[in-house]
Structure 1
Amino acid sequence: MKIINGTAADIDIIFSLYDAGTSYQKQIAQKHWLGFDRALIENEISENRLWKIMVDNQVTGVFSIAFTDPCIWKEKDKDPAIYIHRIATHPDFRGNSYVKHIINWVKEYAASHDKYFIRMDTGSGNEKLNNYYVSCGFTYLGIIETDDSDELPAHYRGGTSSLFEIQL
């Protein structure tokens, strides 16, 4: 398994993983993704912030990172942190603990970029997922209400999210 930057050539694969993730979320959770703006993903690719997990030359998962997330993290956004977004795993590869691999990779990446926190959020109400993130090393920080901001993807607007953090 290796983690490398996604490229423009991967865009269809990336969206197919998001679609598969959305279908899965609809089966197991109260909230699900409502689609993503293609320009957002293209921007993350061009800024080398979208990563793909490769196993035997196959894209088995994707995730993005950000260095700011003020709409969700408010005042805490001033901390030197990396934010993980949109983890999506190919259905044939679920159950392989990719989040743990991502965290280990992000820890090394954070250290080389002078970051002291790894943070992520997820739609609130999915206790199984919350417990999984805690088992991966995150501290559960609680639930926040999100604004109805156009800066947020649609599934965030006017809802609640659970916050998670690892202090390095």
Structure 2
Amino acid sequence: MQIQVLNSLPTDIDTIFQFYDMAVAHQKKVFNKHWQGFSLELVHTEVAENRQYKILVDGVVACVFAVTFNDKLIWADRDHDSIYIHRIVTHPEYRGYSFVKEIIKWAKEFAIANGIKYIRMDTWADNEKLLEYYTSCGFDFVGVVTMEQTKGLPKHYEGISLSLFEIIV
């Protein structure tokens, strides 16, 4: 089995949105919150800026995720020297492949090559299952933030609290 982490291409955008639709359907089944959709412009920008990624298993897209290098509204004064991982979606046929660990491995290499000190991510503060999973993957829980300013963030950030996680590279 060959696993590759590659930049997404403009031709992957339909696949990315299919993955987001699968994620929302899954979130609705297993949790009381779900994503509220993402703009096509956002994803186009991420692809153009090489911040949207795909994980291939034997040449087939099995997972997608996005990154950013600033996240001031969520991380406030701690927003520096970081790569932030967002919107990890695994195709249902590939659940159990530990793609978060693959993403961490990739992110550590990226961080070292680019002088980045932290790998960070967030999730809903009351999603116990994900909180346990992210810490089991090597993230440290570093606190909870309640979102007050969300302009520019996807709609699902409105009026929520987030658990924050990081790995020091």
- Decide whether the 8 Å contact of 1:144 with 1:163 is kept in 2: yes
Identity %: 47
Q: d(CA) in 2 for partners of 1:30 and 1:119? A: 24
1:68 corresponds to: 70
Q: 1:69 is aligned with what amino acid?
A: D
Q: d(CA) in 2 for partners of 1:149 and 1:136? A: 28
Q: 1:65 is aligned with what amino acid?
A: V
1:37 corresponds to: 39
Q: d(CA) in 1 for partners of 2:4 and 2:92? A: 18
Helix, strand or coil for the counterpart of 2:78? helix
TM-score, normalization: structure 2? 0.96
Q: 1:142 deviation in Å?
A: 2.2
Q: Which runs of 5+ in 2 are unaligned?
A: none
Q: d(CA) in 1 for partners of 2:96 and 2:29? A: 16
- Decide whether the 8 Å contact of 1:30 with 1:125 is kept in 2: no
Deviations 1:88-131 (A, max 9, x none): 01111011100001000000000011000000001121111100
Q: 1:165 is aligned with what amino acid?
A: E
RMSD (Å), alpha carbons: 0.9
1:23 corresponds to: 25
Q: Which runs of 5+ in 1 are unaligned?
A: none
TM-score, normalization: structure 1? 0.97
Moved over 6 A (4+): none
